[in-house]
Amino acid sequence: MKQLRSERGQTAVLTVVFLAALLGMAALVLDVGSWMRAQRETQAAADASALAAAQALPESTSQADALAASYLAKNGGGTTEVTFASDNTANDTVSVRVERNTPGFFAQLFGVDSVDVDAMATARASGLDEAKWVAPIVVNIHHPKLNCGSSGGKPVPCFGDETELVLEHLHKPGDGDAAGAFALINLDLSDSGSVGGSTLGDWINRGFDQYMPLGEYTSVPSAKFNDSHVKGALEFRKNDVLLFPIYKTITGSGSNAIYDVVGWVGFRVTGFHAGGSTAKVFGSFTKVIWEGISSESGGGLNYGVRAIQLVE
194-248 pLDDT, tens digit per residue, is 789 999 999 999 999 999 999 999 988 777 888 999 999 999 999 999 999 999 9
% the chain with pLDDT above 90 = 47
Q: Is 288 within 8 Å of 127 (Cβ atoms)?
A: no
Helix (H) or strand (E) holding 270, with range, is: strand 258-275
The pLDDT score that the predictor gives to residue 89 is 83
Highest mean pLDDT out of 106-110, 146-150, 245-249, 272-276 = 245-249
Stretch 102-118: mean pLDDT = 66
Average pLDDT for the chain: 83
Asked whether residue 154 carries a pLDDT value surpassing 80, the answer given is no
The pLDDT score that the predictor gives to residue 87 is 87
The pairing of strands 114-126 and 305-310 is antiparallel
pTM given for the model: 0.80
pLDDT top residue among 13 and 46: 46
Confidence of residue 312 (pLDDT cuts 50, 70, 90): confident
Q: CB within 8 A of 150, min separation 6: which ones?
A: 156
Rounded to 5°, angle at Cα 97 from 93 and 103: 160
The pLDDT score that the predictor gives to residue 277 is 67
Distance CA 57, CA 283 (A): 25
Asked whether residue 8 carries a pLDDT value surpassing 70, the answer given is no
Q: Is 205 within 8 Å of 237 (Cβ atoms)?
A: yes
Asked whether residue 99 carries a pLDDT value surpassing 60, the answer given is yes
Distance CA 196, CA 182 (A): 14
Q: Residues 280-303: pLDDT tens digits?
A: 899 999 999 999 998 877 656 789
